[in-house]
Structure 1
């Protein structure tokens, strides 16, 4: 009989990541054609469309690009301002891509634009991040303030009184834009902003006669703002680089004519042409017979990928050698690059526990420091008759230390950098929470088929039992199997095609239920079957012993029998082969102290063969519920990740501490997972965990830097060792340090 191995998740055709996400709803015309004769299906579709229509009518989503944000604290100010609008149901600012997203029941674009402008930021309808084009005008205020400071010192050298006036004038010039921004922040619900603290500190310094220090504080603050802006630009560079992979225009072929059109105007079914060295503006299926594409920017794979006709090629890939044509399969905003960007943006809303704690702590930290500054200013003079000027000065210094910018940005800067770095080598992590969990993983459970293995059988051994060559045996078998849809039959035909064998015509091809397939070639009848369906007397004891040894190794056998001569010509041993990178990935995980276990629904013999090659422990013959139970038992021993690709793996992935989907997996697995390996390369798995651990260390370093510097200057300020200048450096300097430290994660590469 034809061999029918236990069904597994990978023996069905599954979409790649480039087509699995965000599937578009079919048009009404398409639904009409596909639903003919399927009333129940159409009714369900109509009901779903009706509900979707009601939801769309009830809620609208608006998006803008926010200009002027230098740090995560700026993003919080914008969110706070927009949330004051009662019509805004949900507000999110994605700092990495400078995007503001607002959900509302009605069109509130004008109101949003008004409150954001009032908060001191600018909105643009084009959400694509702007290319940074700094000019000397951007630095003009800094240059002017520096020049005024130098002039003030020069004037004071000749006349102290005139110097005081010059410093007061310098302070007022530098304070004006900061005070204006502080007023806007207070009006829009952010009273404890750095601008507010700076304004109070500068005015207080003027009040007690510390005019030179007041001016210097503003100069240092302005310098720190420019450093923060530079660091923020570097932090966004990973996301901007992804967006730059997608060209703005495309060459569309229509009615035999070429026309250059905006990439956003492409629709599924359009034919596009890509020149050698050109990038794909959308996901498309290849129309040419064969072509090579550089997908390194998306997957980290340095070797060009060879695609054949009808293969899906993701947007952002580069045609290596030839001019090619493709048929667009993705809608605007739904190609491979857009999906990666959406995951990164969604990830920012899924904050890690440590990030949520820092958020809550920073909201309490600033008011507490302000209270401490007020008590420092009032209590010593009132209770101990201490000099007012000295303690007002110390109180003003504490005010500047109270700014939480460095603390607030310490965690999201590291997480954003890590997510962008992971996307470069094909590791998509869905947020800070998933990143934090990945860093703690000590055990990984693997699905077998489609995860550790390629998910499709191939010929691993050929045995000749008669006077016939190996190529001739393969040619006969492929001829008999030609046109069959069984995975084993397709493996034999694929092997013949790879050898470029010419297949003759087969006559009287027929499937014999429960036994195998038979056909006539050049007047001779041939029969392909499993060992237990072989005709009587064909197998000798030696044949049976050799076949049993192959089956014990977990292989599936297909016999080729010549019925006319009643002779066994030979047989093929087929097996779902291990991925090339699986052994190396598992060895690297073991070197990192991570254990591995294989959980599979396949039979124990096939599982044992793969386990022997990889060195993994295994549990075989598991149903989806059994996998969940096995993961639950392993989770009792510590944090565990589950790596899978099929629908039957989704429950186990959900039961694990962290679920990781292979990029060629099913929609359910990809949606359930906390992370995904886009190009289904297992070597990205240890890289992903190494990145998560590096991000953990980076976050700890950032928090230590932010709180440590503030703690040191808090003590030294109370002792009178440091003053206003150092307090500003403690804030702006710490913010720049933690941001630059987080940017080191962008250098993480696949090994």
Structure 2
């Protein structure tokens, strides 16, 4: 029998190891088929049946509270230094200092000295021992079990002072880890709390405030100046500027009027608006973004998969090494049992894989959360890492490198006609056409004052142009093929047409069967930002930039040359783009495809990283691409590459820090220099380095700081 996935939010989950243990305990419930804990987003997905009481019992070892998915956990506003674990850590430090004062003033073995150190151990290590001793009884060897064994062992051999220092430094590292993870999670909490939970809804003649869960599609939402939209919808009355920074990352307000789309979480800055609700609260663009970001944080990145596999064998290996260090020298060469048991305990402490376990997820959670705040949706750690390894980027042309809307660029009249005459005549014919080039002529004609001309008997000529009767004459507008067929294309016109086409422009001719009135050139304008963006990508280490387009080769090459692209491939159908991406992967390795997420879907899916433009409100872009630039703006692309490269560097540095410090500490066993406090400093030092290094990614909102560091 099929079972549904039940999703819950969590409160109190303190560490990655605790998440793994919690997951394991839930899977042990007989009615549960599977469970997955998303540590970054504090979410739990359970396949099967389990009550909240059963789930909280499974997490009782860490004081985990389980809430329904629609009940976000309250934000803990208690300052870091006022939290209980921080206070007990400080008290523990106070007793350690007092203990060492007594250590030097009285006998080291004095009951007062030992008692003071024992108080430091009990106060600072209460939570540690509570879990560690339970695990020890069950022979469940995690980090807290190893630490508990080491501290009890230190007390047994009389090293009370060092045991107290180990407790304090371990508590400090746990507090710092919790602090850094909470800072990273704040990105998601910020997104969750963006949209209001209530809205003013107009039904008939009455207006009432409703919870978003009670709002239905086609309800009318009232938006006054300064208010946030609670739902997605379409404006049916009024006009205003809306700040869409929460969705697109762009702080410049966008003017919207009748028929325009409004996103939940955006701010109405000026006028009064009535908005017809088009989506339920769980289907809004903001809800999709939050869901995708949370899922992204749960996905195991390649680096994390490596660390998880490594840690699986690493911990048992460290325990075996610690045991051998403790017993082999006394048995083989008659060395001091106390000295080598002490060294064995130190190996146990230094071997705690705390820093290694958090080395990747802290960086991933931080980078993905901050990217979301900047209008960039990265759908998983694997995509973040793949983006950091890109060698080449392929671009769709229309709507990506160009504006996507053709504009009239040149009007070349022949004697005795003027530009205004040409536009008036062309407008009269194209007013009946639905072709995109026709809209460009109509738009241009409205900006130029000319006499009004009426056309009759309009007829479209498929693939070539159109014709109509104006003032009793049959007037044509179309391409050179059409005019060569009717026999009215003089030599000088052909030369001018060739010149304009070489510039990447589409040329239309206006005239009769025996006379050319003039030439109109239309082109899809290159985005002004495209020039600097291509330059930035080369500076970031992207070796090749390639344009893939269905447009003709002449136009494509002209645009590619203007932008300074490495390569241009034209006349491509969607399936051709897919084939081209595969050939580029064989040639350059890691390749990204940037497109609009609709006709580029096959190429986006086959690239190592698919990057969709204009993800805001575009379901196809959100579903197909690995990364969605929520604003229809390429300027986010260099920032995304830069952030990903930075995150990849940080992950590699974290793994190197966590393993390197431990290897150095373990080598100190050979001359017998490793002490318990040195071991814990190596462990805490690695954790602290990993945390602080990952927190550098929190500056992701400052584009320049990322770009300057790559």
Find the counterpart in structure 1 of residue 16 from structure 2: 72
Find the counterpart in structure 1 of residue 557 from structure 2: 608
2-structure distance, mates of 1:482, 1:94 = 57
2-structure distance, mates of 1:478, 1:609 = 28
Say if 2:280 is the partner of 1:335. Answer: no
Contact 1:585–1:686 (CA<8 Å) still a contact in 2?
A: yes
SS at match of 1:97: coil
Distance 1:532 1:310, change over 3 A: same
Q: By how many angstroms is 1:406 displaced? A: 0.5
**Alignment partner of 1:382 out of 314, 331, 342:** 331
1:636-647 correspondence to structure 2 within 5 Å: 636-639=586-589, 640-645=591-596, 647=598
Find the counterpart in structure 2 of residue 142 from structure 1: 89
Cα offsets for 1:399-451 (capped at 9, x unmatched): 11121110011111112222223323333222222222222221222222233
1-structure distance, mates of 2:623, 2:142 = 39
Distance 1:201 1:536, change over 3 A: closer
Distance 1:120 1:402, change over 3 A: farther
Say if 2:75 is the partner of 1:121. Answer: no
Say if 2:174 is the partner of 1:225. Answer: yes
1-structure distance, mates of 2:54, 2:678 = 41
Distance 1:112 1:337, change over 3 A: same
**Alignment partner of 1:460 out of 403, 406, 409:** 409
Contact 1:466–1:568 (CA<8 Å) still a contact in 2?
A: no
Distance 1:191 1:496, change over 3 A: farther
TM-score (normalizing by structure 1): 0.83
Q: By how many angstroms is 1:505 displaced? A: 9.6
Cα offsets for 1:193-230 (capped at 9, x unmatched): 22212221221122112222223322222222222221
2-structure distance, mates of 1:107, 1:376 = 45
Find the counterpart in structure 1 of residue 77 from structure 2: 133
1:75-86 correspondence to structure 2 within 5 Å: 75-86=19-30
Cα offsets for 1:659-705 (capped at 9, x unmatched): 32223697566534332322232222222222221112111111111
Contact 1:77–1:119 (CA<8 Å) still a contact in 2?
A: no
SS at match of 1:709: helix
Find the counterpart in structure 1 of residue 499 from structure 2: 549
Higher mean C-alpha displacement, 340-349 vs 645-654: 645-654
Say if 2:667 is the partner of 1:715. Answer: yes
Find the counterpart in structure 2 of residue 179 from structure 1: 129
Distance 1:502 1:266, change over 3 A: farther
Higher relative contact order (CA 8 A, sep 6+): 1
2-structure distance, mates of 1:502, 1:284 = 40
2-structure distance, mates of 1:502, 1:347 = 57
Distance 1:147 1:349, change over 3 A: closer
2-structure distance, mates of 1:389, 1:503 = 106
Contact 1:77–1:190 (CA<8 Å) still a contact in 2?
A: no
2-structure distance, mates of 1:532, 1:289 = 48
Contact 1:119–1:184 (CA<8 Å) still a contact in 2?
A: no
Distance 1:59 1:374, change over 3 A: same
Distance 1:669 1:150, change over 3 A: closer
RMSD value over aligned CA atoms?
A: 3.3
Gaps of 5+ in 1: 1-56
1:1-150 correspondence to structure 2 within 5 Å: 58-104=2-48, 106=49, 108-125=51-68, 126-134=70-78, 136=82, 138=84, 139-150=86-97
2-structure distance, mates of 1:244, 1:519 = 58
SS at match of 1:386: coil
**Alignment partner of 2:527 out of 579, 583, 605:** 579
SS at match of 2:412: strand
2-structure distance, mates of 1:418, 1:230 = 16
Distance 1:169 1:71, change over 3 A: closer
Find the counterpart in structure 1 of residue 707 from structure 2: none
Q: By how many angstroms is 1:375 displaced? A: 1.4
2-structure distance, mates of 1:688, 1:608 = 27
1:237-636 correspondence to structure 2 within 5 Å: 237-288=186-237, 290-465=239-414, 470=419, 473-474=422-423, 477-478=426-427, 480-482=429-431, 484-496=433-445, 499=447, 508=456, 510-514=458-462, 516-517=465-466, 528-533=477-482, 541-560=491-510, 570-593=518-541, 594-616=543-565, 617-636=567-586
Q: By how many angstroms is 1:282 displaced? A: 2.7
Contact 1:649–1:669 (CA<8 Å) still a contact in 2?
A: no
Contact 1:221–1:728 (CA<8 Å) still a contact in 2?
A: yes
Find the counterpart in structure 2 of residue 737 from structure 1: 689
TM-score (normalizing by structure 2): 0.87
SS at match of 1:268: coil
Q: By how many angstroms is 1:250 displaced? A: 2.3
SS at match of 2:281: coil
Distance 1:244 1:201, change over 3 A: same
